[in-house]
Amino acid sequence: MLAVFGHVNPDTDAITAALVYARLLNRQGVDARAFRLGDLNFETAFVLREAGVDAPALLPALQAGAAVALVDHNESAQSTPNLAELNVTRVVDHHKLGDLSTAQPPYLRFEPLGSTGTILLKLHREAGLSVETLDARLMLSAVLSDTLHFRSPTTTQEDRDAVAFLAPVAGVEDVEAYALAMFAAKSDLGDTPAETLLRMDYKVFPFGDADTPQQWGIGVIETTNPAYVFGRQAELLAAMADVKAADGLSGVLLSVVDILNGTNRTLVLGPTEAQVLAGAFGVSVNGPVADLGARISRKKQIVPVLEGFFAPQA
Ligand code: MG
Ligand code: MG
Ligand code: MG
């Protein structure tokens, strides 16, 4: 059995890509099953509820050498802790290639598109398989989630075309209304503990010298209600300090992305983070919030800038 899973702190693309890719492989005669590496966020829970599908099970401990397929990620820091012992046979992803290494020649499908869902639609077409209603709904949700319904600069024409194709198959008549319902669900954070908010959409990245990299934790809260998040600023900063110490990180950033206005205000934990933000992005940082303007994509507008900032000088 091939275990298919997305990244830790899963988002809608990570969960739906695992479900859809496992189903696609099943239709192609591969014994595959979807798993997840963490709790669903509120948006993904909404998507699965609306689609009438159960969440994939948590990934159990796998034996060394077990075959796995990665979706929506490839870096070990974002995967199951014992990834190095597993046999990665397939990767379908839309992120930069990281430290992936494999024992055997793998099947790799990387494209610089807005979501893994868009790639999975192409895989259906290439296999000559029709798109089932459930898969259409899951892939549609993934594209809308990752591109913030085309608000993100990661959006490509192929993502737009995918949504135009998938919406009628999924039975979603008003795509913007559905996207706004997803974002509302994501923003309804209630009394979620501050550390959970920080870790909900959170990834650790190595920066600088490849042999002795600094590890930075970068969280994003995409919300239609930033006032709620900033109302919990003190708690979130305390959680960032705790995570930084507990995980031995060089820095922790938490970007609060206002989905509807397309802006990013990032919480600044301390002088290290302030210095890096000012140096990397050329913004003035006074106090605990840095205005990063329209840089709303961690993948396209935050991480590459930090990689450049930390790159060893030749
Ligand atoms: Mg993802
Ligand atoms: Mg994705
Ligand atoms: Mg995202």
Q: CB 9: neighbour CB atoms within 10 A?
A: 20
CA of 286 to the centre of ligand 1 (A): 31
Element (H, E) at 92: strand 87-93
CA of 118 to the centre of ligand 2 (A): 10
CA of 11 to the centre of ligand 2 (A): 8
Whether 152 and 246 share a structural domain: no
pLDDT of residue 314: 64
Degrees to nearest 5, angle at CA 189 with 184 and 192: 165
Residues, CB-to-ion distance under 5 Å, ligand 1: 11, 13-14, 72
What phi and psi, each to the nearest 5 degrees, are found at residue 105? -60, 120
Whether 203 and 146 share a structural domain: no
How far apart, in whole angstroms, are the C-alpha atoms of residue 204 and residue 299? Answer: 12
CA of 11 to the centre of ligand 3 (A): 7
Residues, CB-to-ion distance under 5 Å, ligand 2: 13, 72, 115-116, 146
Whether 77 and 217 share a structural domain: no
CA of 247 to the centre of ligand 2 (A): 24
pTM (predicted TM-score) = 0.94
Whether 73 and 160 share a structural domain: yes
Domain that holds residue 213: 194-310
Whether 293 and 260 share a structural domain: yes
Cβ atoms of 252 and 219 within 8 Å: the answer is: yes
Which one of the ligands is nearest to 152 CA? 3
- Domain limit, last residue, from 143, 163, 185: 185
- Domain limit, last residue, from 160, 185, 210: 185
Q: Give the total number of structural domains in the chain.
A: 2
Whether 122 and 174 share a structural domain: yes
Cβ atoms of 21 and 92 within 8 Å: the answer is: yes
Q: What CATH number does residue 126 fall under?
A: 3.90.1640.10
Give me 46's structure tokens: 């909404």
Give me 168's structure tokens: 């009628």
Whether 209 and 93 share a structural domain: no
Whether 42 and 172 share a structural domain: yes
CA of 63 to the centre of ligand 1 (A): 25
Whether 76 and 215 share a structural domain: no
pLDDT of residue 313: 77
CA atoms 4, 146, 246, 75: torsion sign: positive
What are the C-alpha distances in Å from 253 to residues 152, 261, 268, 275, 290? 20, 21, 7, 12, 10
What phi and psi, each to the nearest 5 degrees, are found at residue 96? -65, 150
pLDDT in tens, the chain (314 residues): 999 999 999 999 999 999 999 999 999 999 999 999 999 999 999 999 999 999 999 999 999 999 999 999 999 999 999 999 999 999 999 999 999 989 889 999 999 999 999 999 999 999 999 999 999 999 999 999 999 999 999 999 999 999 999 999 999 999 999 999 999 999 999 999 999 999 999 999 999 998 899 999 999 999 999 999 999 999 999 999 999 999 999 999 999 999 999 999 999 999 999 999 999 999 999 899 999 999 999 999 999 999 999 998 76
Which one of the ligands is nearest to 257 CA? 3
CA of 296 to the centre of ligand 3 (A): 10
Task: Compute the half-sphere exposure of residue 3: CA atoms within 13 Å on the CB side of its CA.
Answer: 25
Whether 300 and 272 share a structural domain: yes
pLDDT of residue 207: 96
Alpha helices in the chain (DSSP H): 12-27, 42-51, 116-126, 133-146, 157-170, 175-187, 194-200, 226-230, 233-246, 271-281, 303-310
CA of 190 to the centre of ligand 3 (A): 20
Whether 203 and 180 share a structural domain: no
Which one of the ligands is nearest to 14 CA? 1
Q: What CATH number does residue 302 fall under?
A: 3.10.310.20
Helix, coil or strand: residue 222:
strand
Whether 244 and 176 share a structural domain: no
- Domain limit, last residue, from 185, 209, 236: 185
